Structure 1
């Protein structure tokens, strides 16, 4: 039983296809297929079976894929113990992060890492909630978010550590009729135009909750991803939007008002593959992210 075969099955379980594994591991599909054939021959079992126009793991394949994850985690634990023995806290830790979360988390972490042997490689990723889990195969830490719970959708089998709990507010221009309110009720906003996010993105959950409570469909005239662009458009129009409290700059024509009567809080979480979570440098960076998140949002209630 070779480690490379277990790693291949683990990758197939995560990426779902030979083509996707080849792309992620910088190989050709034919090379991946050939390794899969070799693994089936050496192990004496069918590891995949046809599934429509693609393939899926058999029960034997799933057992070995899970074993591949366990073996990889065990190897990283040994490396972490060896690094601790040598007093070695070095290396590059790669992070894929939602920009609005990285904005308040990563700066203080960089300051805390100054003078250590750890470097961060940061990539900004603004994707739908269920897509954050897929990024975990390619980086050490993924920073994502969810409005439905502390564990983002699709993260089964991955480690999830909640970093912060952040309120989401209604953003509007200073001249909007609702700007004089301290808090906003769902019924107050049904007649306004909205700038939303793409369907499937966590902030859209607030829109759905408002529609459910009021029985009225909101008028969404734009769906955008970039918060800075949304801020500019809201400040210069009569439109409303849902924006995060910690990083939305008020002033310059923009105000935030608390929304009551519907869930309007997001959980910002770190998502890691179990083997990568064993690295000593990764654990240190994760601890720093937790420290910064706790200082910003206060203690978290476990759900």
Structure 2
């Protein structure tokens, strides 16, 4: 049984298309298709079938793709034992992270890893909550967030909560509500908001306020970048939802929202095989330590 065929089928199961496999493995789509035909000849059964304009795995293909995952995890365990024998985790670890979480977690992680031969390679990803789990196909560790204590779409992914970060209501220092120690949904009902795109976790806070007051809020803009949100809030009378750990207190002030749970859960997500690597485990340990240092702020 050629392990390369199992790896190919596993890639197709995770990426969903020949084009996706070709891009990830630095091959042409025709080369991937040819390799799939060779796999079918080797196993003697159809492994893919037409599906719209693409292909999908047959039942036999799915069995072998699952076997490919098992092989990848066994290889990772062997690498972990070899790392133990050599005495120290080493190598490259790729991390894809939500920027607003990376901003308070990653500086401490780099300090924690100082002097250890692990090369950390960071990619910043600002995407919808439900899309983070899928990024484990291309990265060793993915850092995402959710307002729920579970990650959307992560059934086949290892998930570890790093920290729960409060989400506060941001306003200009001179705003009429800034003198209050906290604000309520009723305080905010008539305010104009700087929101985030639909599907992003912070939008859940807006929806909770709408539910509490029984009417829609006025959303002036929907913006992804927290720094831009801060600038717009500081320069006017609008309010927004911003994370407590990374929002600089200056022209913008933060006030907790009374009566509504507004914390976001920040998670690390990993493929089971990559979670076996000692270097990946060492980076995860550093993330957990840094996250714990923010837990009670």
- How far the C-alpha of 1:256 sits from its partner, in A, is 0.4
- How far the C-alpha of 1:49 sits from its partner, in A, is 2.3
Which residue does the alignment assign to 1:182?
A: 181
Which residue does the alignment assign to 1:285?
A: 283
State the secondary structure of the residue aligned to 2:219. strand
RMSD of equivalent CA atoms: 1.5
- How far the C-alpha of 1:58 sits from its partner, in A, is 2.1
CA distance in 1, matches of 2:187, 2:210: 12
CA distance in 2, matches of 1:242, 1:294: 23
What count of residue pairs does the alignment treat as equivalent?
297
Q: 1:9 to 1:263 in 2, by over 3 A?
A: farther
State the secondary structure of the residue aligned to 2:221. strand
CA distance in 2, matches of 1:179, 1:290: 34
Check if 1:142 corresponds to 2:105: no
State the secondary structure of the residue aligned to 1:238. coil
Instruction: State the 4+ residue runs in structure 1 displaced beyond 4 angstroms.
Output: none
Which residue does the alignment assign to 2:237?
A: 238
Which residue does the alignment assign to 2:42?
A: 42
CA contact (8 A) 1:104 1:247 kept: yes
Query: Counterparts of 1:68-83 in structure 2 under 5 Å?
Result: 68-83=68-83
CA contact (8 A) 1:15 1:134 kept: no
Query: Counterparts of 1:49-198 in structure 2 under 5 Å?
Result: 49-149=49-149, 151-198=150-197
Query: Counterparts of 1:14-53 in structure 2 under 5 Å?
Result: 14-53=14-53
Which residue does the alignment assign to 1:263?
A: 261
CA distance in 1, matches of 2:41, 2:296: 54
State the secondary structure of the residue aligned to 1:155. coil
- How far the C-alpha of 1:53 sits from its partner, in A, is 2.5
After TM superposition, the score normalised by the length of structure 1 is: 0.94
- How far the C-alpha of 1:50 sits from its partner, in A, is 2.5
The worse-fitting range, judged by mean Cα deviation, of 118-127 and 206-215 is: 206-215
Which residue does the alignment assign to 2:210?
A: 211
- How far the C-alpha of 1:52 sits from its partner, in A, is 2.5
In structure 2, stretches of 5+ residues that fail to align are: none
CA distance in 2, matches of 1:141, 1:67: 22
CA distance in 1, matches of 2:213, 2:283: 43
Which residue does the alignment assign to 1:296?
A: 294
CA distance in 2, matches of 1:17, 1:92: 27
- How far the C-alpha of 1:298 sits from its partner, in A, is 4.7
Which residue does the alignment assign to 2:246?
A: 247
CA contact (8 A) 1:209 1:263 kept: no
CA distance in 1, matches of 2:276, 2:296: 26
